[in-house]
Amino acid sequence: MATSADSAMQWVSVLSTRPSLEAAIADVVQQAEATLRHPADLGFLFISSAFTSEYSRLMPLLQAHLPGVPVIGCGGAGVVGMEQMGHAREVEGDPALALTLAHLPEVQIQPFQLDPETLPDLDSPPSAWIDLIGVSPAENPHFVLLADSAFNRINDLLQGLDFAYAGSTKVGGLASGGFGNHSGGLFCDGRLYREGIVGIALSGNIQLDAIVAQGCRPIGEPYLVADGERNIMLALQTQAGATAETAGGGTRVAKEGTPLELLQDLIQSLSEDDRLLAQNSLFVGIAQSEFKQTLEQGDFLIRQLIGVDPRVGAIAIGDRIRPGQRIQFHLRDAKASAEDLETLLNRYTLNHDAGAIGALMFACTGRGEGLYGQADFDSELFAQYFPDTPLSGFFCNGEIGPVAGNTFLHGFTSVFGIFRPVR
């Protein structure tokens, strides 16, 4: 269990691993209410998929303990929460229930549930999305979004919310670990939903910051996409420029070639370990800024390399690409993932004053103990930089978070949503 307070604001996160649903709910509510010194205004609840057959019983049991408190949550293959000693723990595969309660004066709270058929199309004006959510952009709301993994319009939703709420932060994830097509229940306002999306919009005296650790490190240098269509890169060009000066005072001519040729040249320049890693863990980062001269971690949207065509040297990736964009190849492994997260955590703490009251963690099911070979890695690293910040969350089938101001659905990523007062 952990609690944090700023003035009258309070945030409490607790975890129970009791195998009985009734006992687990009573456990987390008792712990949370004993610590929260004010009425709860908001709750987040994450439940292990070990309880999948009992999801329909969850909300009535919880409401009996917390009547009138808006709660959203979902099921996950793993759950993240705080033990009584104040340590974050990632419970993967075993029964677990994590509850966050927050007392948030001067914060407006708007829960919502959406079905795919209710979403406007992408040609709709911002007002269509604003009417759907019921919150004005002038209130500068921030969003937590939890979706069914079969929600096939998630990218439309994220683009639409970015269009209507350009200055707002959106974090969240896709429920995981259930049975059948809809893997994991969604919970909102006392009801269980098997599909769609649930969310909460928070406005007023609250700021939501996001750390999006995509778990990769760049290799080689950035390239300019010289030719491409849809998700296929047909030609790349090095960033040297035809008259760029070299360190020796000469000039270096930009090199253009097929993506496959340049990638093969790059792989030959790698260490033996990296060449082996590139066989199975090679990704493409798409730079999200057209103007930033020196690219660094956090500037790239990481996407899978999904195929090559040796006949023409083309490479297909898991997103649209267009001529003029910059890309860089990346590698992913446990070491790269750890270094990426630590770099971003360190950068955040250097650039922000202390004041976080609570945080949510949305981690890919491909991370955790299976990636690192040890439990609680991401949450313990987070706690080194935020030692007194209550944390809860779950392991996702896809993670929602911003890169360079736009919101995307990620894979193999840990997204941290950090809440702090504006004033």
pLDDT at 270 over 90: yes
Rounding to the nearest 10 degrees, give the CA dihedral for residues 90, 94, 95, 101: 10
Kindly list the distances between the CA atom of residue 206 and the CA atoms of 23, 81, 125, 387, in Å, as whole numbers in the listed order: 33, 22, 27, 20
- Residue 249 is predicted with a pLDDT of 46
Question: What's the first-to-final CA gap in the chain, in angstroms?
Answer: 26
Of 331, 360, 391, the position where a domain reaches its end is 331
Q: Which domain holds residue 18?
A: 2-214+336-420
Burial class for 134, CB neighbours closer than 10 Å (0-12, 13-18, 19+): exposed
- Average pLDDT on 91-108 reads 96
Q: What percentage of the chain's residues is helix, strand, coil (to nearest 5)?
A: 25, 40, 35
Of 331, 366, 385, the position where a domain reaches its end is 331
Q: Are 303 and 319 in contact (CB under 8 A)?
A: yes
Per-residue pLDDT band at 250 (split at 50, 70, 90): very low
Q: Where does 98-207 have alpha helices with state H?
A: 126-133, 154-164
- Asked if 89 and 179 sit in the same domain, the reply is yes
Q: What single-letter DSSP state applies at residue 362?
A: E
Of 308, 331, 354, the position where a domain reaches its end is 331
pLDDT at 277 over 50: yes
In terms of pLDDT, which residue wins out, 8 or 210? 210
- Average pLDDT on 200-210 reads 97
- Asked if 221 and 94 sit in the same domain, the reply is no
Per-residue pLDDT band at 5 (split at 50, 70, 90): low
- Asked if 227 and 308 sit in the same domain, the reply is yes
- Residue 255 is predicted with a pLDDT of 79
- Residue 352 is predicted with a pLDDT of 87
- Asked if 193 and 340 sit in the same domain, the reply is yes
Q: What is the mean pLDDT of the chain?
A: 91
- Asked if 315 and 253 sit in the same domain, the reply is yes
- Asked if 277 and 222 sit in the same domain, the reply is yes
- Residue 353 is predicted with a pLDDT of 81
- Asked if 319 and 345 sit in the same domain, the reply is no
Per the structure, how many domains does the chain have? 2
What global pTM score does this model have? 0.92
- Asked if 202 and 222 sit in the same domain, the reply is no
- Asked if 201 and 60 sit in the same domain, the reply is yes
Percent of the chain with pLDDT over 70: 93
- Average pLDDT on 13-35 reads 96
- Residue 291 is predicted with a pLDDT of 78
Rounding to the nearest 10 degrees, give the CA dihedral for residues 20, 25, 28, 31: -100
Best CA proximity match to 350, nearest among 211, 228, 232: 211
- Residue 242 is predicted with a pLDDT of 32
- Asked if 155 and 17 sit in the same domain, the reply is yes
pLDDT at 216 over 80: yes
- Asked if 249 and 181 sit in the same domain, the reply is no
- Asked if 210 and 274 sit in the same domain, the reply is no
